[in-house]
Amino acid sequence: MTSPRHALPVAVLISGRGSNLQAIIDAVRAGALDVNICLVLSNRAEAQGLERARAAGIPTAVLTPATPADRAAYDRALRERIDASGARLIVLAGFMRVLTPEFVRHYDGRLINIHPSLLPAFTGLHTHRRALAAGVAEHGASVHFVTEELDGGPVILRARVAVLAGDDEHTLADRVHRVEHHILPLTIRWYAAGRLRKDGDRVRFDGRTLDAPLDLADLPADDGAA
Ligand code: GAR
C-alpha cells in the first residue's frame, strides 16, 4: 500500500476476520489517515484479515505459538518481528492473545487495543453475550492504551450503541463493530498527528489530561469521522 514516506509506521496485530484492519486500510486509501501500515501480523495462519492485508499490498507475517504455554518466548519473537518492521505504533485489532508484562512495557505508550465494550465494563471475552445477560441499556466499544492489566489501560475513546429490544448476540455485535470501525482509525489518526499520548495511567489529548474517556457522540464534527 503506497503511503508517504513521512507517514507513521504502524503494525496491526490480528487473529481473525480483520474488519477493523479493513477500516484502517480504507481510511488510509481515502486519504483520511496518514499512516504507513508496515506490517499485519496474525497468530493464526487462517485469519481472514491476512487476505485483506495481502490484497492491499501490505507485508504480512504469521507467528503461531510453537509452545502455546510459553508466552515469554512467543512475545520475544513477536517483539523481534514488530521491531524489524520499524513500527512506531502497534495496534491490537482483534489480537486474541494475552501479552506478557515485558512486551507491554517495551511498547508503553505505543500500544493500543480495541475492545468490544464500554470499558471498564465487560473486560475479557464474550462481551456482547454478557452485556445482554446483564440487561444494560447501552453497550459499545473502547480504544485504550494497553497496560499490564488485561483490558485495564487508560481509555482514550468510546462509542455507545443502544441495546434494542430483540437484540441477540449477533445483532448487537454487528452494531458494535460498525462503531469500532469509526473509533479505531480515528484514534490512530490522532496519535499520528501527535494529539494523543499516554501519560502514566492517564491520557493526554490536545495537551490536556482527560478526566474521562472521550465519547464519539461528543466530538466536534471535524473530529467525528476518520
Ligand atoms: C473486535 O470486535 C474487537 O473489538 C475484538 O475482536 C473483534 C475483532 O474483529 N477484540 C477483543 O475482543 C479483544 N479483547 P475484526 O477481526 O473483524 O476486526
Q: How confident is the model at residue 226 (pLDDT cuts 50, 70, 90)?
A: very low
How many whole angstroms from 113 Cα to the centroid of ligand 1? Answer: 9
Task: Provide the whole-model pTM.
Answer: 0.96
Q: What are the b/e assignments for 143-177, b being 16+ CB within 10 Å?
A: bbbbbeeebebbbbbbbbbebeeebeeeebbebbb
Residues 52-85 have pLDDT tens digits of: 999 999 999 999 988 777 999 999 999 999 999 9
Residue 45, pLDDT > 90, answer: yes
Residue 183, pLDDT > 50, answer: yes
**Percent of the chain with pLDDT strictly greater than 90:** 92
Q: Is residue 193 classed as helix, strand or coil in its secondary structure?
A: coil
pLDDT at 5: 61
Protein residue whose Cα sits closest to atom 1 of ligand 1: 94
Among all residues, which ones are annotated catalytic?
115
pLDDT at 3: 58
Measured from CB, residues less than 6 Å from any atom of ligand 1 are: 14, 16-20, 49, 93-94, 114-116, 177, 180
Identify residue 88 by its one-letter amino acid code: R
Return the C-alpha torsion angle 198, 200, 201, 204, nearest 10. Answer: -40
**Burial of 84 by CB count in 10 Å (0-12 exposed, 13-18 middle, 19+ buried)?**
exposed
Q: What's the distance, CA 112 to chain centroid?
A: 5
In terms of Cα–Cα distance, which of 64, 6, 7, 43 is closest to 188? 7
How many whole angstroms from 44 Cα to the centroid of ligand 1? Answer: 14
Work out the average pLDDT over 83-104. 98
pLDDT at 196: 98
User: 117, 38 in Cβ contact below 8 A?
Assistant: no
Work out the average pLDDT over 37-64. 98
Work out the average pLDDT over 21-44. 98
